[in-house]
Amino acid sequence: METSILSGLEASKALYSSLESRISHLKDHGIIPGLAAVLVGNNPASEIYVKNKTKKFESLGLKTDVFRLEETVSEDELLSLISKLNTDSEFHGILVQLPLPKHIDSEKVLNAIIPTKDVDGFHPENAGLLSIGKPRFVPCTPKGIMFILKHFNIDLNGKHVVVIGRSNIVGRPISILASLKDLGNATVTLCHSGTKDLKYFSKQADVLVAALGSPEFVDSSYIKEGACLVDVGINRIEVEGNSKIVGDVNQDSVTGIASSLTPVPKGVGPMTIAMLVENTVLSAELLLN
């Protein structure tokens, strides 16, 4: 079987072009969608993530500022910055890059972001809206996965979607989105480290979402022929002294057995950034309603 590649780059381009008219409509009303990115400390991976995100905003003519704080910043100082950004009309979205230093309570900080600027979709109010089937700001990675599947005409209706991983940023929200009547309308199984006999479930999947954070974990023995595989993982491994990024799926092993597959890199990753832009535009549009 030929395994088709579900390119996140291609899907993200389609999303950006659909955003053009929405952005120019906002500009006609004097609104330039703006993102405030808060970066604490000097974690090299966080630096790269924030740079990639802000670069994209700049290339689209949107506003973005990075607020850099020392690793030693106190929780109160960080909360006071969030409080200022909550009322700053130039920013429609606030992003706090994780992880935060250990002395800071991340949950407290994320919950301090006003829900209408919570473009990462992590606030309990937005998580609650999603879980009752009224999504407002949906976490970017699962939202991006739904977009890729739709872009490549992979219909979830009546299918069995199996998700490996139950984090609040990927696994749990994608399982909810896929199950919602107006969105996926799929039958969903959510697996995690407590799942007994993971292969029993994964081999039933019409669509398998691998979001467990374990390099190349899912090989051909975990899937059925013709399955669609969504590889969310971003894992850095060393190969012969060189560092390399791989997903949670062993892509060589499943090629020829899966019907389609999101690559790593250039699969789910670009969609995550694209959806951050979309959520920020959506937040700015709330001002017009």
Contact set with ligand NDP (CB under 6 A): 141, 164-167, 169-171, 191-195, 198, 211-214, 232-235, 248, 268-269, 272
Amino acid identity, residue 225?
E
Burial (CB count <10 Å: 0-12, 13-18, 19+), residue 27: middle
Cα–Cα distance list, 176 to 129, 147, 169, 231 (Å)? 11, 15, 12, 18
Which one of 56, 117, 118, 120 is the catalytic residue? 120
CB of 289 to ligand NDP, least distance (A): 29
Of the pair 8, 34, the CB lying nearest ligand NDP is at 8
Cα–Cα distance list, 54 to 67, 175, 197, 287 (Å)? 12, 29, 42, 22
Edge to edge, the sheet with strand 93-96 lists 63-69, 34-40, 93-96
CB of 143 to ligand NDP, least distance (A): 11
Q: Is 105 a catalytic residue?
A: no
Backbone angles phi, psi at 34, to 5 degrees: -130, 140
Q: Is 97 a catalytic residue?
A: yes
Q: Is 53 a catalytic residue?
A: yes
CB of 191 to ligand NDP, least distance (A): 5
Hey, is 194 helix, strand or coil? Answer: coil
Which one, of 14, 39, 284, lies nearest residue 149 by Cα? 14
Of the pair 115, 269, the CB lying nearest ligand NDP is at 269
Nearest residue relative to ligand NDP (C-beta): 167
Question: Cα–Cα distance between 130 and 146 in angstroms, integer?
Answer: 14
CB of 91 to ligand NDP, least distance (A): 22
Of the pair 111, 195, the CB lying nearest ligand NDP is at 195
Of the pair 185, 214, the CB lying nearest ligand NDP is at 214
Of the pair 229, 234, the CB lying nearest ligand NDP is at 234
CB of 231 to ligand NDP, least distance (A): 8
Which one of 53, 56, 117, 143 is the catalytic residue? 53
Q: Which two tokens stand for residue 205?
A: 């999947």
Q: Which residue numbers are catalytic?
A: 53, 97, 120
